[in-house]
Amino acid sequence: MPSRRGVLRRGAGLFVAGSAAGVGALAVRSNADDTNADGQTASDGSAADADGPTDRERGRATVLVAGSLQQIATKVGAASVEAHGSVACRRLLEDGLRDPDAVALADPRLFSGLTDRVTCFATNALVVALREDLADEYDDWRALVSDSDRTLGRTDPERDPLGYRTVMALRLADRNGGGIDAEAVLDRTNVFPETGLLRTLEAGGIDAAFAYRNMAVEHDLPSLALPDRIDFSNPEFADDYARASVELNDRTVTGAPIRYAANARTPRGEEWVEKLTGAIETLETRGFGIPDSYPRQIDVSE
């Protein structure tokens, strides 16, 4: 799936990344720009605006979504959208801090314990997004991420699947040989919120970032593709992906093909989920993959 610029490039071989200090998730609502002291917009849309009714009183759905779904979520019907890393979304729900009409996350397994069935509606792939002025310098993602003069970014595994998939991709690449020390590279890669990662790249704060394909397309950034065996895009390599795992504070995550899933919690949420999962052309033009069998309801345990 090429980006808007047609600069998505096929790489081959191995992979590199790293880590510096992490920062908190950035939440974004489609109908507000107010932020708190932490630079976050953190409302589920249930609180009344200073001079008016709540979003629900207006008839708008309140939705909690993965950071990589932030842009598409604002395009598929009237809704108050809040975006975080999917792991952070789950914790907000577990702790009773949010009560949205619908939820859409980047890993259906994160719905475990919250609901029994979800609707899978899209897939994705890991890529390395890079600054526009570097697009002509690198044809292979290995050369870019191996260049110690280039600053790299990723997201936090404790907050979103993009973060733990990046770690697992590096470890898979390390095991395939080629002299890559995945842990050493992780140590030197800066960590950002999913919703702010590519904005930092666009602003010149980093040279490249491990991102989802759709994020590069939506930000109109050049990107370098990873091999199917480590980009979590191809179900044929599910056994290879499962060879990698990441220990989180509250669970162990095993590698699996990327799947996006949604769950409606109210009738208003059902309407929004139908619009999201039915927006096949919009999803595809933004870099998501749509298998022939999607949208498809599954048990969370699948």
> What pLDDT, in 10s, does the model give residues 233-280?
999 999 999 999 999 998 899 999 999 999 999 999 999 999 999 999
> What pLDDT, in 10s, does the model give residues 197-242?
999 999 999 999 999 999 999 999 999 999 999 999 999 999 999 9
- As given in the structure block, the two tokens for residue 2 are 């090429």
Full 3-state SS string of 46-110: CCCCCCCCCCCCCCCEEEEEEHHHHHHHCCCCCEEEEEECHHHHHHHHHCCCCCCCEEEECCHHH
Each residue's pLDDT tens digit in the chain (302 positions)? 443 333 333 332 222 233 333 333 333 333 333 333 233 333 333 334 455 556 665 678 999 999 999 999 999 988 999 999 999 999 999 999 999 999 999 999 999 999 999 999 999 999 999 999 999 999 888 888 888 899 999 999 999 999 999 999 999 998 887 556 788 778 889 999 999 999 999 999 999 999 999 999 999 999 999 999 999 999 999 999 999 999 999 889 999 999 999 999 999 999 999 999 999 999 999 999 999 999 999 999 88
48: alpha, beta or left? (left if phi > 0; alpha if psi -120 to 50): beta
Closest of 89, 51, 54 to residue 69, by C-alpha: 89
Domain boundaries, the chain: 61-123+257-299, 126-254
- Rounded Cα distance, 218 and 213, in Å: 9
Q: Which residues, other chains included, contact 248 with Cβ-Cβ below 8 Å and sequence gap of 6+?
A: 87, 157, 158, 164
pLDDT of residue 146: 83
Bridge pairing between strands 117-122 and 102-105: unpaired
Question: Which alpha helices (DSSP H) does the chain contain, by range?
Answer: 70-73, 86-94, 141-146, 161-175, 182-187, 197-202, 213-218, 228-231, 238-241, 267-278, 280-285
- Asked if the domains 61-123+257-299 and 126-254 are classified in one and the same CATH topology, the answer is yes
According to CATH, the topology of domain 126-254 is D-Maltodextrin-Binding Protein; domain 2 (3.40.190)
CA-to-CA separations, 67 to 88, 192, 253, in angstroms, rounded: 10, 12, 19
Contact 73, 79 (CB under 8 A): yes
CA 299 to centroid of chain Cα atoms: 22
- Tell me if the bond preceding 108 is cis, omega within 30° of 0: no
pLDDT of residue 179: 59
Contact 120, 144 (CB under 8 A): no
Superfamily of segment(s) 61-123+257-299 = Periplasmic binding protein-like II (3.40.190.10)
pLDDT of residue 57: 53
Work out whether the CA dihedral 267, 113, 66, 124 comes out positive or negative: negative
For residue 203, the SS3 value is: coil
What are all long-range contacts of 275-283, with beta carbons under 8 Å and residues at least 24 apart? 275/76, 275/77, 276/72, 276/73, 276/76, 276/77, 276/102, 276/104, 276/121, 277/119, 277/121, 279/72, 279/75, 279/76, 282/72, 282/75, 282/76, 283/72, 283/121, 283/122
For residue 267, the SS3 value is: helix
